Amino acid sequence: MTPWFGLVVLLGTWSLGNWGAEACTCSPSHPQDAFCNSDIVIRAKVVGKKLVKDGPFGTLVYTVKQMKMYRGFSKMPHVQYIYTEASESLCGLKLEVNKYQYLLTGRVYDGKVYTGLCNFVERWDQLTLSQRKGLNYRYHLGCNCKIKSCYYLPCFVSAKNECLWTDMLSSFGHSGYQSKHYACIQQKGGYCSWYRGWAPPDKSVTNATDP
């Protein structure tokens, strides 16, 4: 059993009699959270793929040409293969070969990098400038912060290291404005706040709710 297959089993969103696409259920995640919670974050181009017989529907193995690594140097300094479930109902990821560069996030199990629909994966040319800057250095500054999701009003931060994520109120998940343009960065005194701008973060800013 591959790690992603086991994860879907634990989620309890499917049964042996129901293998529909609705079986893959993911909670929305801000790109910064996806970055901080991933073992591996890279920019890469998919140059090949093959199906191997592993699990009920098999496993897709993508061969990638790594362009840059943003996170995971100690885990695996160079990534050549990415593993995912072959079935989208088990959160398997479909990537184009020899077409696009991708931002790929994943976890390392037994020396292999696994990813899926619940990971933050995006075509590089679809990322905003703020997201690219986040990958380069801003997201690192916020890994000790907590991004608190707000699904309906009213909602508030409950600790000084929290930033209130309100994208779900207008759009679902990482496609929202805060996800595209803001990073939650730790400031003076351990406070965290949303940050967007060209200059380095203002150490005196402590407003944890302003997007």
Q: Please state, in angstroms and as integers, the Cα–Cα distance from residue 138 to each residue in 35, 69, 124, 200, 205, following that order.
A: 11, 15, 17, 9, 16
Tell me the torsion sign for CA atoms 109, 114, 119, 120: positive
- Please give the Cα distance from 152 to 113 (Å, whole number): 35
Eight-class DSSP state of 1? -
Q: Residue 184 annotated as binding?
A: no
Contact of 150 with 166, CB cutoff 8 Å = yes
Binding residues for Zn(2+): 24
Binding residues: 24
